[in-house]
Homo-oligomer: A and B are copies of this chain.
Amino acid sequence: MDDIPGLETGTLPAPRTFDALKDLVATGHARLPKRLSQAAQYALAHPDDIALGTAASIAAAAGVQPSTLVRLAHHFGYGGFSDFQLVFRDRLKSRASTYEERLRKIEDGTLGGSDEVALLGGFIQAARSSLDALSDSVSPAQFAQCVDVLAGADTIYLVARRRAYPLAAYMAYAFAKLGIRSVLLDSANGIDGEIADLARPGDAAIACSFSPYAPDSVAQAKALSSAGVPLIALTDSVMSPLAACATHWLEVSENDFGGFRSLSAGMTLAMALPVAIAERRRHQG
């Protein structure tokens, strides 16, 4: 080994975040030798390249040798270039970066001490990152189109089973409060099919279903769709059977904790939709 890791910067542990690394370079970079300084400068100027490139490609771009990058990493106390690179990759993963780390920590914790709070924390994190994903996956245009269709409907039929049911249950409540006619297809006496058959093209339907898609929901959505009823789907991927038969669909991919997928993103959409429809109707008369 060339040098004792961390000697130059004292015996501090390597910074685990990009910002911390930045500070370290800013305060102590006068002590860096020429090539290391050159490499460090390039790293801070092109963080994305560091995250996604190979040592060889980065070295070439920065005008140094690959070994210099390894040395730089050692200088800051990292185990090697790969370790150094992790900081840049985390940064790239927007906000989800600390999420996986935390999740792993929580998982370790639950195995060791069976701490209930870790569990709650895990679900909170899953919910949070699901929300982050929502703003990315639902585009303004898509949302507006869905609102358009639903605002023009006479009666809105709500289809959801099992895990997705709370979304429809909430929307039924919201629609009622907002003075929007809706029918929640959740009858316990098995007449949902017959009720749905009464839907007309002038109506519309919202179907919510996530993998593994409840057969009932899918069948009902298909029936409504082929009856000419405009169908808005809240589902989790392009592979969803709902995406295939829907007029428009909104992607809601939820993160999970311990196999239990969050509902926060879906629920948030379920809150926004009714209000948006009500707003649209008010402005259009």
* Contact assessment for B116 and A140 in the assembled complex, using a CB-CB cutoff below 8 Å: yes
* Contact assessment for B162 and A143 in the assembled complex, using a CB-CB cutoff below 8 Å: no
Residue from B22, B51, B110, B136 within 8 A of A95 (CB atoms): B136
Q: Is A267 an interface residue (CB 8 A)?
A: yes
Residue from B25, B131, B170 within 8 A of A128 (CB atoms): B131
* Segment with Cβ contacts to B, from A8-16, A36-44, A64-72: A36-44
Q: Is A169 an interface residue (CB 8 A)?
A: yes
Give CA–CA (A264, B37) in the complex, Å. 26
- Which residues on the B side are within 8 Å of A89 (C-beta)? 52
Copies in the complex: 2
Interface string of A64-101 (1 = CB under 8 A from B): 00000000000000000000000001001111100100
- Within A122-161, the residues touching B (CB, 8 Å) are 122-124, 127-128, 131, 134-136, 138, 140, 143-144, 147
Give CA–CA (A163, B169) in the complex, Å. 9
- Within A254-273, the residues touching B (CB, 8 Å) are 257-258, 260, 262-264, 267-269, 271-272
Give CA–CA (A115, B269) in the complex, Å. 15
- Which residues on the B side are within 8 Å of A283 (C-beta)? 114
Residue of B nearest to A162 (CB): B173
* Segment with Cβ contacts to B, from A193-201, A219-227, A231-239: A231-239
* Contact assessment for A121 and B93 in the assembled complex, using a CB-CB cutoff below 8 Å: no
A sample of 9 cross-chain residue pairs with beta-carbon separation below 8 angstroms, ordered by A number, consists of: A25-B238, A45-B253, A94-B95, A94-B99, A114-B280, A114-B283, A116-B279, A128-B128, A165-B173
